[in-house]
Structure 1
């Protein structure tokens, strides 16, 4: 760890300062990475999780012919560190801290501002080394120094590296046992906060107020709000992804939201009516639930994502809504990003057991959606309804429940 430096001058010597003197370069010379002073914790579930990810990186390096990997995105940092966070804002893709990984070593690249907090709060005892630079120096210099003479794959456009974001993303979409455990807890909490926000909203509340209430509930559970789509009846049918505005809710409220914890993202959608819903909306919502049920049922191990999409398109067509799937993305694999792999026609990508999916069908103003974990012989709802009405649907003889409209 870098030592602290007292930058407050002696007041008695202020008169001796020479304003005409040439400034001296205070930059630190490049240093070898320093080791984590914390004792390693090889038996902890988190350290075992990091070791598994190190093995995935090692296999990637061997298969692709690289010497090292550079991870600069926030979602990549959270994945490899098994839930670590950088201090960058929610909306930023790139973090303040970069990971440099070889087959058997892992190093944190950070400024002197971020290094102490990162080692104390995010990667303590996980076997990381540190390579530090002053905050006022461009971090590109640090990257060039550690990558020199090596063939390096990166998840962002770092100079002297090969951008391999798509391939590196594939390393993280098969969830580990620890990630599945975390996902279950996160999913239930996300569903709970969305349902509570719906139940506690009233006609006259603005979309902003509902979004603020939902954010407050999530943060109380240690969840970071990522995507919040909150809309009343006037806007949900106009736009596929309505961002909340200072508009009052009158008859209907739909919330589609994503919450993040330990880097993992869980999403769910719920709709509430204040008074009796109209027949046309109920018809659209029933179709939407049918499409959603098809997506979930056919999200199976080794199933092409394009085939899951094709089957859902058939439901759209049979129910008189053939073009609805074109109007908005239908979702796909989720994980450390709200959408890791988007399902599109003709994609060769295949779903695997241990992946999470979040489908987002829509019909007119109606929405449906939950986060689901794929198993070898079935699936598991990660965002199950808790205090919410459901409708039972049958797909190929199998019954599954989808959230229906709550009437208040």
Structure 2
């Protein structure tokens, strides 16, 4: 079966098992998952889009309005989905159609309204097990996001503002058909002060960090990189190696069947072994990614296990420093996806890790 056929079959098995009549998927994340990477997004900042997916025991529909119907028919509706639309002025037509298709039965949704139920937890966990087709899309996205990062920071100048850097990063992503869901830029003055230095009018100065959460086909490539316009000092070089140590501990623990809470414990222990006792409380450490920048932020309370085929984005940080890439867990193997061969690297734990890009 195709990717979409397998997903529809799985959803129908869950519907039958739980005695439900349909799933109504509203979020941009779930729409992309169910349709094999199609998009219902118009407003980038919105969590929901201009179309929904309705899956019943018999049929599968993309529900939209007259504004969007032709575009979805031509560009965003994969087989075997049927496109249903109604005049945009009639807000009740869609609800009536859903009631008719489900015959008034129980309905579950990722964003439930009224008497709708929440999606089964099994479906949320299944979404993290990326199928081969999804992994292929993810690999290409992550490669191109990493290339966009290199292109941006190679062009960066100390007189640029953080706005300039974020704008250049966004342009590099858009050129590749990638949504710049997040382009966070911080220069030398704000980097030591904030873990999330969202872009401002300040100039970059002697160094800068750029962070991408880059979305295409609903999937997120997450990565952070640093550019220096001077030689890094001893403390900065030490932080780089220490963060690579913490990251290596996270990656080593990231194996199928291991609960996220156990990985979090390994991360905390790695920080403590390097003398950074308080750092885990100053910023989250990341977790599973995929159809959200973080499907879940790992914590001591995270009981869900890593599955084979799960994408992860751990992001250890210290004051003024950070390391982050998107990886894919395949059995005992960890594939680093956000890699541009042009980016400078250093060796750590038998892996090439992103170094500072130094432009003197």
* More moved, 243-252 vs 290-299: 290-299
Residues in 2 aligned to 1:169 and 1:213: alpha-carbon distance in whole angstroms: 35
- Whether contact under 8 Å (1:88, 1:96) holds in the other structure is yes
Task: Summarize the Cα distance change of 1:90–1:169 in structure 2 as closer, same or farther, 3 Å threshold.
Answer: farther
Pairs within 5 Å for 1:274-289: 274-289=229-244
Are 1:304 and 2:256 counterparts?
Answer: no
Superposition CA RMSD, Å:
1.7
Larger radius of gyration: 1
Are 1:54 and 2:8 counterparts?
Answer: yes
Q: TM-score, normalised by structure 2?
A: 0.94
Partner residue of 2:83 out of 130, 144, 147: 130
Partner residue of 1:340 out of 289, 295, 315: 295
Pairs within 5 Å for 1:7-406: 48-124=2-78, 126-139=79-92, 141-147=93-99, 149-164=104-119, 168-394=123-349, 399-406=350-357
1:144 CA drift (Å)? 4.6
User: 3-state SS of the aligned residue for 1:308?
Assistant: helix
User: 3-state SS of the aligned residue for 1:307?
Assistant: helix
1:61 CA drift (Å)? 1.5
CA offsets 1:277-318 (integer angstroms, 9 cap, x no match): 122222222211211122122211111111111111111001
- Whether contact under 8 Å (1:292, 1:359) holds in the other structure is yes
Residues in 1 aligned to 2:34 and 2:353: alpha-carbon distance in whole angstroms: 34
Unaligned runs of 5+ residues in structure 2 are none
* More moved, 164-173 vs 348-357: 164-173
User: 3-state SS of the aligned residue for 1:175?
Assistant: coil
- Whether contact under 8 Å (1:55, 1:103) holds in the other structure is no
Task: Summarize the Cα distance change of 1:167–1:227 in structure 2 as closer, same or farther, 3 Å threshold.
Answer: farther
- Whether contact under 8 Å (2:128, 2:307) holds in the other structure is no
Residues in 2 aligned to 1:165 and 1:239: alpha-carbon distance in whole angstroms: 37
